[in-house]
Structure 1
Amino acid sequence: MTMLMRGALWGVLLALGEAGRFRAEPDADPISVTVVFKEKHQLVDIGAEIPVSTEVPTITAAFADAGAPPPIAALPIAATEVDRLIGAWITVADGRTFEVLDPRPTGNGGVLCVVNEAQRD
């Protein structure tokens, strides 16, 4: 991975990032993370006979082992542990909490998480 690719991730997180809180489980203590929340991210499924496009909320963050510079706060997991994100909760700056459904490594030290707003009992 080139420094240019990681630098692009750092630039996005520094310019657009907001303070978030990560919890591996709903009742776990929150950990501060820098995230970019996007209300409507367009995903395209080209594997279907007819390509399908959907809009979903996403959260982008950096992995712990990516070497993110301060003040970026990375997720407390390594890129090799991406599946540990499934079911985790991330709260964004406006106070809404989302559950991670599909974490997708970006290839530059980050992860794009397809999320759904968490339902609280």
Structure 2
Amino acid sequence: MDQQLKNVALATLYLSVAGFFLILLLTIKKGAEFFLEISKAESAQRIELMQTTQAQIEASESLLTSTTSFASGAFLLSEASDLSSAKSAVSIMDGSIQKAKDSGMENVAIIMEAFKGRVLQDMGLSELR
């Protein structure tokens, strides 16, 4: 009987150890699933951040090209020696304003329009507006 009791105790011990490892494995599996979900969420956030950064870079490039072109037109206007040269310069400025509008930079376009109008008025060329 003593041997049977030992066998039952040993079997119970083995079952307890097996149960412990089963619970441990299930916990590790659940932890791995949570880690995978967190990793996916972080990846999605990184992708979203990269897309936002790319959009900001594109907007900055568009702003830079529009304002540079506008400044070139303003410089050419200031150096214009005849009405034809002034018209060409105003055309460059108008193209820059349109590019700003097309890029969704309405505020920049409004400022450019106002600046162009003021410069043309100061130069006595209001008819080129």
Same fold, judged at TM 0.5 (above): no
TM-score, scaled to structure 2: 0.25
Give the helix-richer structure, 1 or 2: 2
Specify which structure has the higher proportion of strand.
1
Q: Which has the larger radius of gyration?
A: 2
- Structure number with greater CO (CA < 8 Å, separation at least 6) is 1
